[in-house]
A and B are shown apart, each in its own frame.
Chain A
Amino acid sequence: AQRVTQPEKLLSVFKGAPVELKCNYSYSGSPELFWYVQYSRQRLQLLLRHISRESIKGFTADLNKGETSFHLKKPFAQEEDSAMYYCALSPGGYQKVTFGTGTKLQVIP
Protein backbone atom coordinates (compact mmCIF):
# COMPACT_ATOMS: atom_id res chain seq x y z
CA ALA A 1 0.00 0.00 0.00
CA GLN A 2 1.18 3.51 -0.70
CA ARG A 3 1.49 6.07 2.04
CA VAL A 4 2.66 9.66 2.34
CA THR A 5 3.72 11.13 5.66
CA GLN A 6 4.12 14.80 6.44
CA PRO A 7 5.19 14.85 10.07
CA GLU A 8 4.63 18.54 10.71
CA LYS A 9 1.13 20.01 10.80
CA LEU A 10 2.51 23.50 11.27
CA LEU A 11 5.89 25.01 10.46
CA SER A 12 6.63 28.58 11.48
CA VAL A 13 9.73 30.34 10.20
CA PHE A 14 10.89 33.92 10.07
CA LYS A 15 11.09 35.77 6.78
CA GLY A 16 14.47 35.17 5.20
CA ALA A 17 15.06 31.91 7.06
CA PRO A 18 15.45 28.61 5.23
CA VAL A 19 12.43 26.35 4.88
CA GLU A 20 12.24 22.57 4.75
CA LEU A 21 8.90 20.83 4.58
CA LYS A 22 9.31 17.14 5.18
CA CYS A 23 7.69 14.37 3.19
CA ASN A 24 8.35 10.66 3.47
CA TYR A 25 6.65 8.02 1.41
CA SER A 26 6.08 4.30 1.38
CA TYR A 27 5.75 2.52 -1.94
CA SER A 28 7.33 -0.61 -3.33
CA GLY A 29 7.84 0.61 -6.89
CA SER A 30 9.12 3.81 -8.48
CA PRO A 31 6.53 6.47 -7.80
CA GLU A 32 6.04 9.96 -9.02
CA LEU A 33 6.13 12.57 -6.28
CA PHE A 34 4.48 15.97 -6.29
CA TRP A 35 4.14 19.01 -4.09
CA TYR A 36 0.85 20.89 -4.16
CA VAL A 37 0.21 24.27 -2.53
CA GLN A 38 -2.99 25.93 -1.41
CA TYR A 39 -2.82 29.64 -0.68
CA SER A 40 -5.54 31.25 1.39
CA ARG A 41 -8.86 31.27 -0.48
CA GLN A 42 -7.33 29.70 -3.59
CA ARG A 43 -7.55 26.31 -5.17
CA LEU A 44 -5.08 23.53 -4.65
CA GLN A 45 -2.41 23.86 -7.33
CA LEU A 46 0.63 21.94 -8.44
CA LEU A 47 3.88 23.44 -7.20
CA LEU A 48 6.37 20.98 -8.60
CA ARG A 49 6.97 17.37 -9.53
CA HIS A 50 10.12 15.38 -9.03
CA ILE A 51 10.67 14.41 -12.65
CA SER A 52 10.81 18.05 -13.68
CA ARG A 53 13.74 18.76 -11.40
CA GLU A 54 12.96 22.46 -11.60
CA SER A 55 12.72 25.30 -9.13
CA ILE A 56 9.33 26.97 -8.77
CA LYS A 57 9.02 30.17 -6.75
CA GLY A 58 12.43 29.35 -5.30
CA PHE A 59 11.32 25.93 -4.05
CA THR A 60 13.11 22.72 -4.92
CA ALA A 61 12.53 19.12 -3.95
CA ASP A 62 14.82 16.17 -4.46
CA LEU A 63 13.65 12.61 -4.48
CA ASN A 64 15.81 10.50 -2.18
CA LYS A 65 14.97 6.89 -2.90
CA GLY A 66 17.28 5.59 -0.19
CA GLU A 67 15.49 7.57 2.49
CA THR A 68 12.14 7.48 0.64
CA SER A 69 11.85 11.22 1.09
CA PHE A 70 10.82 14.16 -1.03
CA HIS A 71 11.43 17.19 1.16
CA LEU A 72 10.52 20.66 -0.11
CA LYS A 73 13.14 23.33 0.42
CA LYS A 74 13.60 27.03 -0.04
CA PRO A 75 16.71 28.93 1.08
CA PHE A 76 14.95 32.17 2.06
CA ALA A 77 11.30 32.20 3.09
CA GLN A 78 9.03 35.02 1.96
CA GLU A 79 5.75 36.10 3.50
CA GLU A 80 3.85 35.10 0.38
CA ASP A 81 5.00 31.52 0.87
CA SER A 82 2.56 31.18 3.76
CA ALA A 83 0.17 28.45 2.65
CA MET A 84 -0.82 24.84 3.07
CA TYR A 85 1.53 22.38 1.37
CA TYR A 86 0.64 18.82 0.42
CA CYS A 87 2.99 16.11 -0.70
CA ALA A 88 1.47 13.53 -3.07
CA LEU A 89 2.48 10.21 -4.56
CA SER A 90 1.37 8.60 -7.78
CA PRO A 91 2.31 5.08 -8.90
CA GLY A 92 2.09 6.34 -12.46
CA GLY A 93 -0.40 5.71 -15.20
CA TYR A 94 -3.95 6.50 -14.23
CA GLN A 95 -3.61 5.08 -10.75
CA LYS A 96 -4.73 6.55 -7.46
CA VAL A 97 -2.81 9.53 -6.08
CA THR A 98 -2.20 9.53 -2.33
CA PHE A 99 -1.91 12.83 -0.49
CA GLY A 100 -0.18 13.56 2.77
CA THR A 101 -1.97 15.30 5.59
CA GLY A 102 -0.43 18.63 4.71
CA THR A 103 1.84 21.13 6.44
CA LYS A 104 0.82 24.68 7.10
CA LEU A 105 3.75 27.00 6.50
CA GLN A 106 3.60 30.26 8.37
CA VAL A 107 6.22 32.85 7.50
CA ILE A 108 6.58 35.44 10.23
CA PRO A 109 7.48 38.96 9.06
Chain B
Amino acid sequence: GQSLEQPSEVTAVEGAIVQINCTYQTSGFYGLSWYQQHDGGAPTFLSYNGLDGLEETGRFSSFLSRSDSYGYLLLQELQMKDSASYFCAVKAGNMLTFGGGTRLMVKP
Protein backbone atom coordinates (compact mmCIF):
# COMPACT_ATOMS: atom_id res chain seq x y z
CA GLY B 1 0.00 0.00 0.00
CA GLN B 2 0.86 3.65 0.08
CA SER B 3 1.40 5.98 3.03
CA LEU B 4 2.38 9.64 3.26
CA GLU B 5 3.47 11.66 6.25
CA GLN B 6 3.26 15.43 6.52
CA PRO B 7 3.03 17.79 9.51
CA SER B 8 -0.51 18.44 10.67
CA GLU B 9 -0.09 22.18 11.27
CA VAL B 10 2.31 24.98 10.43
CA THR B 11 2.07 28.64 11.44
CA ALA B 12 3.98 31.49 9.82
CA VAL B 13 3.77 35.26 9.46
CA GLU B 14 2.94 37.27 6.38
CA GLY B 15 5.93 37.75 4.09
CA ALA B 16 7.82 34.79 5.51
CA ILE B 17 8.88 31.53 3.84
CA VAL B 18 7.49 28.18 4.91
CA GLN B 19 8.42 24.63 3.92
CA ILE B 20 5.99 21.73 4.17
CA ASN B 21 7.66 18.34 4.10
CA CYS B 22 6.24 15.07 2.85
CA THR B 23 7.69 11.59 3.16
CA TYR B 24 6.10 8.65 1.44
CA GLN B 25 6.16 4.88 1.13
CA THR B 26 4.68 3.49 -2.02
CA SER B 27 5.08 0.99 -4.81
CA GLY B 28 4.86 1.86 -8.48
CA PHE B 29 5.67 5.52 -7.84
CA TYR B 30 5.19 7.92 -10.76
CA GLY B 31 5.41 11.33 -9.09
CA LEU B 32 4.49 13.65 -6.23
CA SER B 33 1.79 16.29 -6.50
CA TRP B 34 0.75 19.12 -4.21
CA TYR B 35 -2.78 20.43 -3.76
CA GLN B 36 -4.20 23.40 -1.86
CA GLN B 37 -7.63 23.32 -0.24
CA HIS B 38 -9.33 26.27 1.43
CA ASP B 39 -12.01 25.54 4.02
CA GLY B 40 -15.20 24.56 2.24
CA GLY B 41 -13.47 24.50 -1.14
CA ALA B 42 -12.20 21.96 -3.62
CA PRO B 43 -8.56 20.85 -3.76
CA THR B 44 -6.69 22.77 -6.44
CA PHE B 45 -3.51 21.61 -8.13
CA LEU B 46 -0.30 23.45 -7.26
CA SER B 47 2.59 21.45 -8.70
CA TYR B 48 3.89 18.06 -9.79
CA ASN B 49 7.35 16.49 -9.59
CA GLY B 50 7.96 13.44 -11.73
CA LEU B 51 11.72 13.70 -11.57
CA ASP B 52 14.20 14.65 -8.85
CA GLY B 53 14.79 18.32 -8.36
CA LEU B 54 13.04 21.62 -7.93
CA GLU B 55 9.98 22.88 -9.81
CA GLU B 56 9.15 26.56 -9.48
CA THR B 57 5.78 28.19 -10.14
CA GLY B 58 5.66 31.78 -9.00
CA ARG B 59 5.80 32.01 -5.21
CA PHE B 60 5.51 28.23 -4.88
CA SER B 61 8.27 25.66 -5.42
CA SER B 62 8.24 21.92 -4.98
CA PHE B 63 11.12 19.51 -4.58
CA LEU B 64 11.42 15.76 -4.95
CA SER B 65 14.11 13.25 -4.00
CA ARG B 66 13.05 9.80 -5.20
CA SER B 67 15.99 8.10 -3.49
CA ASP B 68 14.92 9.54 -0.13
CA SER B 69 11.15 9.15 -0.78
CA TYR B 70 10.86 12.78 0.25
CA GLY B 71 9.50 15.99 -1.11
CA TYR B 72 8.59 19.45 0.06
CA LEU B 73 6.50 22.43 -0.90
CA LEU B 74 8.08 25.84 -0.39
CA LEU B 75 5.86 28.89 -0.14
CA GLN B 76 7.56 32.27 -0.35
CA GLU B 77 6.32 35.79 0.42
CA LEU B 78 3.42 34.37 2.37
CA GLN B 79 0.08 36.11 2.06
CA MET B 80 -3.00 35.83 4.25
CA LYS B 81 -4.81 34.08 1.40
CA ASP B 82 -2.28 31.24 1.60
CA SER B 83 -3.97 30.09 4.82
CA ALA B 84 -5.32 26.71 3.75
CA SER B 85 -4.65 22.98 3.93
CA TYR B 86 -1.90 21.60 1.73
CA PHE B 87 -1.82 17.98 0.64
CA CYS B 88 0.96 15.98 -0.92
CA ALA B 89 -0.22 13.12 -3.11
CA VAL B 90 1.61 10.29 -4.83
CA LYS B 91 0.69 8.89 -8.21
CA ALA B 92 1.02 5.13 -8.19
CA GLY B 93 -0.75 3.18 -10.87
CA ASN B 94 -4.13 4.67 -11.61
CA MET B 95 -4.67 6.42 -8.33
CA LEU B 96 -3.67 9.43 -6.33
CA THR B 97 -2.99 8.73 -2.66
CA PHE B 98 -3.17 11.84 -0.46
CA GLY B 99 -1.44 12.62 2.77
CA GLY B 100 -3.42 13.77 5.79
CA GLY B 101 -2.79 17.41 4.95
CA THR B 102 -0.92 20.30 6.58
CA ARG B 103 -2.99 23.17 7.85
CA LEU B 104 -1.09 26.41 7.23
CA MET B 105 -2.07 29.45 9.25
CA VAL B 106 -0.61 32.76 8.10
CA LYS B 107 -0.64 35.49 10.73
CA PRO B 108 -0.28 39.25 10.17
Genuine A/B complex: no
